[in-house]
Structure 1
Amino acid sequence: MRHTAVCLNGRFSGTLQPTGTQTSAFHTFDAILKAERNFAIVVFADLRFPGVNDWRDIPKTKVVPVPFSTWSRPRAQLWEQLVLPRAARRHGCALIHHPLNTSSRLRLGMKHLVTVHDLNFVRHPEWFSLSFRTWMMLTALPGMRSASYVATVSDHVLREVRTTGRISPAKSARIYNGCKQLPATVEVGNESNTILALNVWQPHKNLARLIAAFRLLRVDFPTLRLRIAGRLQAQFRSGPSLAAMLQEPGISVLGYLSEIELAQAYKSAHVFCYPSLEEGFGLPILEALSAGTRVVTSNSSCLPEIAGGAAILIDPASVPSIAAGLREALRETPAERAKWITKGKSVAASFSWQQAAQSYLSIYRKLLATS
């Protein structure tokens, strides 16, 4: 029999409190499945992940339940390497789309499309645990190099994939993520003395410098508050001890936020600060722009590309620069702030999951045509 279906690797769905890359993978697949197409798609995913169960009602879609959320990370990784290719083949698939950097090295005559979010594990191995970076070097790089096609989420990552990853321009392209629609919330007032930071526990998120900049600002803004949201992620190495810094006046740790809580946090903050040393896309800055929050972010990696001129850019390696950017946002007049918020919403609206889905579907059709 001729295999004509596409398989979507939903291993990301094992994380029931999704952050940036898992959220991006879900919305990419969601838009692909809901788009018009003339071929079947088979999705291997955990039905407990928010929104996955709804996919079972979409025409030309088969969802194969896999209990990723009950498995250890090593078990899920081995499933991706050894079980997924055979299962996809049994379901009549000619192509597997892997949305989060890693892919099956076992090909079984199928085409493989890999979406790469960053190469931080190559460029900055010191940020990661030894076990995580070893696994990535054994799976992500070889899988990328042997893939039929590689998509990246920004031009910044595309350049890295073609240089560090040695991927041919003929089999690689940039496909931007979209900006997810935040849920409607009760109207919340903007708190002019609040800075929000999100998912800053990884070393490259630069939390220590952000807190140092916040400390400087408290001299001029004594009632200023810094709210830190997001969950810890085990694959990253612990940075310097931050326990004492987190106890400083004005700092509160919110933990993981639901989508509604996150939307409220964005809308109530006066400034969203994202001073990362390295990013592949930077979805939170788009979410903040979409929510009408002023953004201060880094002048490096993909962040100027994604911010589209709607954010205040700072040098993430410089505490005075971070403080100066935040001070500028805090001192803007209402008219200046309104102008930038309008621009920010326009930038965020230009990133569409539907547009991303059409780009992926075009690649699917090309690869299926040569299967």
Structure 2
Amino acid sequence: MHVGVNTLFLIPREVGGTEIYVRSLLPALQALEAGLRLTVFTNRENHDSFADYDRTLIDVAATSRPRRIVAEQTSLPRAAARAGVDVLYSPGYTAPLRATFPQVVTIHDTQFLDFPEDFPWLSRAAQRIIVGGSARRANAITTVSEFSRRRIAERFGVPREKIIVAHSALSGLFAPPKPCALERPFLLYIANTYPHKNATRLVRAFDRIKDCIRHTLVICGQPREGEPPPHPRVKRIHYIAYEELIGMVQAADLVVFPSLYEGFGRPVVEAQEAGTRVIASRSAAIPEIGGDGATYFDGESEDGIAQAIVDALNEPPDVRVQWIARGRENAKRFTWGACASRTLDTFCMALSNN
């Protein structure tokens, strides 16, 4: 099978978990299926980073979203047809709306519809047309959770049987011990501070209990529209090298994840793999992904967040050990081999549905 991979959306180090998904899934697909041929369709920014694959440059700068969208709808399908792909796979929400070959698209979530305040109105309108059109025209869809599967079916009016869950996964990077330079003890939240990430409510909850605990709250991620106001016991880290991030997760007494919307919730399972105690919001896909390896709170309640932090910090050592063990066991569910197997099944389904 010859699969084309649409990476026109991918700007290195700018698209977060979607980049991790693509760069981890492709080698897992090759390891799973020896006869699989991949051709990666690249943009100006990411072309060099896919040197290990057969690749075709679509001469567009993805930093210009309008130009990238036009190229995806015009240049990409022509290039894929010339390459003779059996299936075109688009792992970044959008795909050509007209094509002569079967297509699979990965839609990670429907955040732009469920939390529209995070997006400018023009971006929302464009995504509604292009993501919705991609969902309806694709021969098959993959997504990263059962929660997202339900939302895609409801929001875009596509049958659920057309949507396959291929959970995102872990690569074992958070298990080996790493050093941490931060002063302990601290609580940790990893997120770019978009409004739905709920960082302001977390800081207010932390302020209520700051005199009862010794901890600093560390928020690691780029400031966005939901950036909380400064607080004397809150340390903001905007960027950190990946190795340092792993050490920070391992050193935290608690990873707190109050996000109100996630299609997957990678920081939850990364912390579980690291052997760190996790508490998280009972929202969207988070309980599905965190499983029985985390405790959950109402993310819209400052009292609920504050009480969950205090309860987790005060639990007996043997109880804490049990929670950490359950978290590590839960994290083992998410492997790139399993994700690749489900994705390959979806390619076959797209061929049969064409």
Shared fold per TM-score greater than 0.5 = yes
**C-alpha distance in structure 2 between counterparts of 1:343 and 1:5, whole Å:** 40
**C-alpha distance in structure 2 between counterparts of 1:299 and 1:353, whole Å:** 26
Q: Show structure 2 runs of 5+ residues with no match.
A: none
**C-alpha distance in structure 1 between counterparts of 2:242 and 2:284, whole Å:** 27
Corresponding residue for 1:362?
A: 345
Preserved CA contact (<8 Å) 1:289 1:341: yes
Q: Does 1:230 align with 2:188?
A: no
1:72, distance to aligned residue in structure 2 (A): 2.2
**C-alpha distance in structure 2 between counterparts of 1:151 and 1:313, whole Å:** 27
Query: What secondary structure sits across from 1:144 in the alignment?
Result: helix
**C-alpha distance in structure 1 between counterparts of 2:201 and 2:353, whole Å:** 50
Preserved CA contact (<8 Å) 1:13 1:69: no
Preserved CA contact (<8 Å) 1:7 1:88: yes
Instruction: Give the alignment of 1:52-67 within 5 angstroms.
Output: 52-53=49-50, 55-56=52-53, 62-65=54-57
Corresponding residue for 1:101?
A: 93
Preserved CA contact (<8 Å) 2:44 2:61: no
Preserved CA contact (<8 Å) 1:229 1:253: yes
Query: What secondary structure sits across from 2:156 in the alignment?
Result: coil
**C-alpha distance in structure 1 between counterparts of 2:189 and 2:40, whole Å:** 34
Which of 103, 120, 126 is the aligned partner of 1:112?
103
1:17, distance to aligned residue in structure 2 (A): 4.4
**C-alpha distance in structure 2 between counterparts of 1:291 and 1:284, whole Å:** 10
Preserved CA contact (<8 Å) 1:12 1:22: no
Q: Show structure 1 runs of 5+ residues with no match.
A: 57-61
Corresponding residue for 1:316?
A: 299
Question: How large is the RMSD of aligned CA atoms in angstroms?
Answer: 2.4
1:274, distance to aligned residue in structure 2 (A): 1.0
Which of 122, 131, 156 is the aligned partner of 1:131?
122
Q: Does 1:284 align with 2:267?
A: yes
Corresponding residue for 2:151?
A: 160
Query: What secondary structure sits across from 2:185 in the alignment?
Result: strand
The total of aligned residue pairs comes to 353
**C-alpha distance in structure 2 between counterparts of 1:281 and 1:51, whole Å:** 29
Provide closer, same or farther for how the CA distance between residues 50 and 182 of structure 1 changes in structure 2, counting only shifts above 3 A: farther
1:370, distance to aligned residue in structure 2 (A): 5.9
Preserved CA contact (<8 Å) 1:191 1:270: no
Counterpart code for 1:368: L
Instruction: Give the alignment of 1:122-271 within 5 angstroms.
Output: 122-182=113-173, 184-188=176-180, 193-221=185-213, 223-232=214-223, 238-239=225-226, 242=228, 245-246=229-230, 248-271=231-254
Provide closer, same or farther for how the CA distance between residues 67 and 326 of structure 1 changes in structure 2, counting only shifts above 3 A: farther
1:20, distance to aligned residue in structure 2 (A): 2.0
Preserved CA contact (<8 Å) 2:29 2:344: yes
The 10-residue stretch of structure 1 (191-200 or 122-131) with the greater mean CA deviation from structure 2: 191-200
Preserved CA contact (<8 Å) 2:218 2:235: yes
1:343, distance to aligned residue in structure 2 (A): 1.1
Which of 40, 45, 49 is the aligned partner of 2:42?
45
Q: Does 1:11 align with 2:3?
A: no
The 10-residue stretch of structure 1 (212-221 or 15-24) with the greater mean CA deviation from structure 2: 15-24
Q: Deviations over 1:138-181 (max 9, x none)?
A: 20011101110111211111111222221113312212111233
1:69, distance to aligned residue in structure 2 (A): 6.5
Counterpart code for 2:73: Q
1:75, distance to aligned residue in structure 2 (A): 2.3
Which of 67, 72, 88 is the aligned partner of 2:80?
88
Corresponding residue for 1:121?
A: 112
Preserved CA contact (<8 Å) 1:190 1:269: no
Query: What secondary structure sits across from 1:55 in the alignment?
Result: coil
**C-alpha distance in structure 1 between counterparts of 2:59 and 2:215, whole Å:** 44
Q: What is the TM-score when the length of structure 1 is the normalising length?
A: 0.87
Counterpart code for 1:73: R
